[in-house]
Each structure stands twice: as structure tokens, then as C-alpha cells.
Amino acid sequence: MSYNFKNILKISALVILFASIIGFSYFKTKDLFFGVTLEVEGIVNGESRSEQLLEFNGTAQRAVKIHVNGREIFIDTEGTFNDSLILLPGYNIITIEAIDKFGKKTKNIYEIVLTTQ
């Protein structure tokens, strides 16, 4: 009877070990599988506005770099950022790109029309 208990204990220990290894591997590689997510507030695609100054903020989960129209902006450790742009009269295109540590990119493109009075 003790022989069966020892086998069950060994098998249980191995199962727990392999489950721990798989869980740790998933935790370390989930960024590779999911990539970066980008959420921006303060910009509405297709918006027509009369104010020249456009202020926006957002979060980029798992990002290490963020570019706004090709210009790198500051991102904190939680993935939040904020920036502002001066719009030109007429049609403006704003491109926000987030890049993770593996080089995966996510890009949001916004089209905004600045109307002049």
C-alpha cells in the first residue's frame, strides 16, 4: 500500500512541476503572443473641429515606444501617455504607432478636419 502512495506522490509532484513550468512559460511569453494594445482618448476619427490645439492621451499596454506622426513621445511604466498637436487648417492625418519589445506594431490613424472661421 505504501508503494502505491509513493507512486501517487511522485506523479503528483511531477504534474505540479510541469504545470508550474507551463504557467511560468506562459507568463513570460504572453507579450509575444498578444502584442501591444493601443487605446487613445481625445481624438475622434473623422471629426471636424474649430480648435487648433488637439490634446489627447491614452494607454499602450506592453509598449516600449510610441510615435505620433513619426515623433517619439514619452510613455510611463504603466503604459500611459499624453501629447498635444497643433492642427493645420483643413485636412489633418494623425498616426499613432505603438511598438512592443519584440518589434510588433499597432497603428491607429485618425483623420481630422480643422475648420477656420
Cα 117 from Cα 105, distance rounded (Å): 38
- C-alpha dihedral sign at 62, 107, 105, 30: positive
pLDDT at 117 over 80: no
Instruction: Return the higher-pLDDT residue of 100 and 93.
Output: 93
pLDDT of residue 2: 60
- Cell numbers at residue 39, please? 487605446
| Calculated CA dihedral for residues 115, 84, 69, 39, nearest 10 degrees | -100
Look over the chain and give the mean of its residue pLDDT values, rounded to a whole number: 90
Of 6-10, 13-17, 60-64, 81-85, the least confident: 6-10
Q: Which has the closest alpha carbon to 37: 12, 2, 66?
A: 66
Q: What is the pTM of this model?
A: 0.73
pLDDT of residue 16: 92
